[in-house]
Amino acid sequence: MENILAQQIFQASDNFVQTIGGELNKTKSFSFGHECLQNSIDAAISHHDSFRLLGGSITYRSPNQSKATAFGLTKLDKWTKTIKRCRHLPVTWSERCSALMRTRSQYTWGSGCHTLCTAKTHEDPIIKSRSSIMRCLLRRDQYIANPSMYFCLITPPSLNHLFARVIDGLCTARRVLIFSSQADDLKARFQQDAVPNFDGPISFLKQVNEMSGFEHCVDKLIQYGLTEPEQWLHEIRSVWRKEQFKRIAANRPAFDGVQHGVDRDSTIHHLRQTERYEPLLREDLLQNAAVLRLLLTGGLFTQSINSRHRKRGPTDCTSTVGGEQTVEHVSWYCSYHHDLRIPILHLFHLIIQASPAFRFASIITQRDAALQPHIQLIQSVLIRIWRAHI
């Protein structure tokens, strides 16, 4: 039976070779399937019992199920292992960040070919892997910095697993719409109101177009994203950040105010300057940048915070001002750092009226426009205060 099957395959392959012009590139071709098929086409062509598609993935799920596939979990696990190894690289924060950006395709490879799993049982491992990125960038096991603020304000959003799987899938769809001969058909199928009867790229695009933080992103892709990719990607990131800021303000009262809008360029301008260090000042500026990143994302520890985590109650400051040793107390009130605070004392009446997000993390919100011209001076003073406190 196997010999008969091999003969039939050989005849079919011979017809195929004749159809395409009588010659195959033997170094780029292979046969696939049962071992009885080996050498059926040509003895020089290698034979495999498995293969992998490059540029896409095939998912098999029962109808009406959003269960994560074993293949998807394998990709997530692979990138997580890479993240843990990157933590030990003897490089700077920005270089570790770049390394993670370059390797995220281990997780997002094949995105856009089928609907995303949104079940909590799948998102929990994603959030745990996101925590691995925080530990990698901060180089510590315990941290209190807000991950959402970290990915919205400090790092590229594509380091966030939930964002990366969507944006990389959309970029794959964009390439298909540009280069595929079936682009018009794909656009027509997407714009139909009917629900796709099978899981595939169209169902992915319809799903993402209605997701919180990505509303109408596919409509915009078809409208102008094919010809203006930079503007399209910028708008997607902006919409996603606004949605994250709303969630941050709801979950962390200390960041109240960011939900109304953040002047991101002004907020991180000093950080960008600090990261452009001169060789002789490298160590000092790297430490300044590290402190500022923690300040902006709520990652600075005080003795009171440490006590609360150990369930010992708050800890009061021993300075003449007294009171609980919170981040705001150290930044603006603690008498131990009064001399360091002298350059910004004339701004104190504006600071105490600023949003909670500014008083806690020096983030410029819409309410803090009056402080925008002085943000670099204020953050410089806060860096010196916290380096002295630490």
Where the chain has pLDDT below 50, the residues are 1-2, 5-6, 9-10, 13-14, 16-22
pLDDT at 245: 96
Q: How many CB atoms lie within 10 A of CB 142?
A: 9
Task: Say if residues 138 and 299 touch (Cβ distance below 8 Å).
Answer: yes
Nearest to 297 by CA among 274, 275, 268: 268
The candidate with the shortest Cα–Cα distance to 209, out of 198, 193, 227, 197, is 193
User: Can you spell out the DSSP letters for 79-113?
Assistant: HHHHHHHHTT-SS-HHHHHHHHHHHTHHHHTTTTS
Q: What is the identity of the amino acid at 59?
A: T
Q: Are 161 and 130 in contact (CB under 8 A)?
A: yes
Give residue 155's pLDDT. 95
- Check residue 197 and give its pLDDT: 73
Question: Could you tell me if 368 and 324 are in contact, meaning their C-beta atoms sit under 8 angstroms apart?
Answer: no
What are the residues whose beta carbons fall under 8 Å from the beta carbon of 156, sequence distance 6 or more?
97, 101
47: enclosing H helix or E strand: strand 46-48
- DSSP bridge pairs for 30: 46
- Report d(CA 148, CA 258) in Å as an integer: 12
- pLDDT (0 to 100) of residue 294: 96
Residue 351: φ, ψ to 5°: -65, -45
Residues 337 and 183 sit within 8 Å (Cβ to Cβ): no
Contact 258, 249 (CB under 8 A): yes
Contact 251, 350 (CB under 8 A): no
β-bridge partners, 262: 365
At 55 the pLDDT is 56
Contact of 217 with 173, CB cutoff 8 Å: no
Quote the strand ranges of 240-283, DSSP E.
none
Write out the two tokens for 253: 């009262």
User: Are the C-beta atoms of residues 169 and 112 closer than 8 Å to each other?
Assistant: yes
Instruction: Give the pLDDT score at 106.
Output: 93
Report the candidate in 212, 197, 206, 195 with the shortest Cα–Cα distance to residue 173.
206
- The encoded tokens of residue 336 equal 């131990």
- In 3D space, the residue among 215, 240, 220 whose CA is nearest the CA of residue 230 turns out to be 220
pLDDT at residue 62, rounded to an integer: 61
Do 102 and 159 touch, CB atoms closer than 8 A?
no
d(CA 173, CA 208): 12
